[in-house]
Amino acid sequence: MIGFIVLAVVMLAGAVGVVTLRQPVHAALSLVVTLLALAVTYVTLQAHFLAVIQVIVYAGAIMVLFLFVIMLLNVEGQAPPPHLRWLPPLAFATALLVAAGIAVTAFVDRAPLPAAARVSALQGGSAEQVGTLLFSHYVLAFQLVGVLLLAGIVGAVSLAQRGSRGDASGARSEGASDTRELSHG
């Protein structure tokens, strides 16, 4: 239990870092810490397959994708504009309200634990057990996650193209003015 508490504190600290750090690369590295702590939590639960998948897919491939998008968009940590100064306190108050709601719901409404068949199907978290459960009971959720990831990629590419078009047109107009100055001079 002490190991879980330590891992939970590390995961919460990493999650807070993701939200509060101003530099996007630092926030992404904080997310890596959170994902690795989650993988260690899976190891403590004897779900070694899930831990390996967590490290390879999320801490590896997805984080490389995040860092690539951050570098592609050339995002820098910036202070919020003056007209949005009210947003951080509102977001903090909303987060506190949501956390209080979750805590009240967890302690007041004691929902029954998942069915024993589903829990036993995930014992050890082998690839066969996870795949069978994922593609039978949770196939709609699996497909919706795929659509959500596709929408995120399309959005990132469109933002990057819009930014590169603005840079390219600015470079062309500056180049054109340099050419005109040379021909007149």
Of 31, 48, 30, the C-alpha closest to 39 is 48
Give me the pLDDT at residue 62, please: 80
Residue 45 is classified by DSSP as: T
C-alpha torsion sign, points 66, 95, 76, 8:
negative
Indicate the pTM of the whole model: 0.53
Distance (Å, whole) CA 170 – CA 141: 44
Question: Which fold would CATH assign to domain 1-77?
Answer: Four Helix Bundle (Hemerythrin (Met), subunit A) (1.20.120)
Per residue of the chain (185 residues), give pLDDT as tens.
Answer: 788 888 889 999 999 988 888 888 888 889 889 989 998 988 888 778 888 888 888 878 888 877 777 777 766 656 656 777 777 788 888 888 888 887 787 777 666 655 655 555 556 667 777 778 778 888 888 888 889 888 888 887 887 777 666 555 444 444 444 444 545 54
The set of residues, in sequence order, having a beta carbon less than 8 Å from that of 124 and lying 6+ positions away, is 46, 47, 48, 49
Domain ranges of the chain: 1-77
Tell me the three state secondary structure of residue 1. coil
